[in-house]
Amino acid sequence: MQATITRENDRRHKIAVIDGPNMSSLGNRSKQVYGSIASLDDLKAFCTRFGEDLGVEIECFSSNYQGAILEFIHESAARVDGYIINPAGATTIGEAIRHALQDAGRPVIEVHFANISAAPAMPRGLDSGTLKSSFTHSATGMCMGMRQYSYTGAILAMTQALDDTTFLGGEG
C-alpha cells in the first residue's frame, strides 16, 4: 500500500537533518530502541529517499563534535529552510548548538529514536532513564520514540509546515 501526500505547493524546500554525537554507532545500539537500521549512512539514505518522495531536498550532516555541528549550522543557515536535529549525545548539554539553531531563524524539529521521556521499562525508553533535553523548549516541534520513523514524521511535518504560509506566523 502506497500513501500519497498532497502538498500545498511544489516548492522544493531544503531541509537539513543533523545527527549528533554517538549516532555514528547506530548499528551497534539497542535493537529494541534503535531498530534494524544498520548504520548512520543507512539512516541518511532513508531520509534522503523520503525527502525525494515528498519533493524536498534533504541535506544530511553528522558529527561527534559539537564544534563541527555549530559550524555547519552557521554556514548553512542562509541556504536551508528548516532543521531537523537528533542531538543524541548532546541532548542534555548542547546549549551552544541550541543557540545556533535559534539564531539561524529557521524552524527546528527535534527527533529521537527513543522516547526520551519514557521510563526505562517502556519499549522505546532509554536504559539510562528519562532525559531532559536542552533543545525541546525552543524547538518548533518534536518527534520521538518511533525509531527511524521519527525522522520521516519530522520531514513530513516540516514540509507541510513550510508549505503552509500561515504556520510560522506569515500572513498567508
Whether 151 is a known active-site residue: answer no
List the catalytic residue out of 13, 83, 112, 151.
112
Comparing C-alpha atoms, which of 44, 54, 113 is closest to residue 81? Answer: 54
Beta bridge partners of 57: 14
- Give the helix/strand (H/E) hosting 153: helix 149-163
* Distance set, CA 94 to CA 5, 64, 138 (Å): 34, 12, 12
Q: Is 74 a catalytic residue?
A: no
Phi, psi of 103 (to 5 degrees): -65, -25
Q: Catalytic residue among 34, 65, 74, 137, which?
A: 34
CA 162 to chain centre: 15
Asked whether 161 and 140 are in contact (CB, 8 A), the reply is yes
Would the CA dihedral through 111, 17, 81, 158 be positive or negative?
A: negative
- Beta partners for residue 16, in sequence order: 59, 83
Residues recognised as catalytic: 34, 112
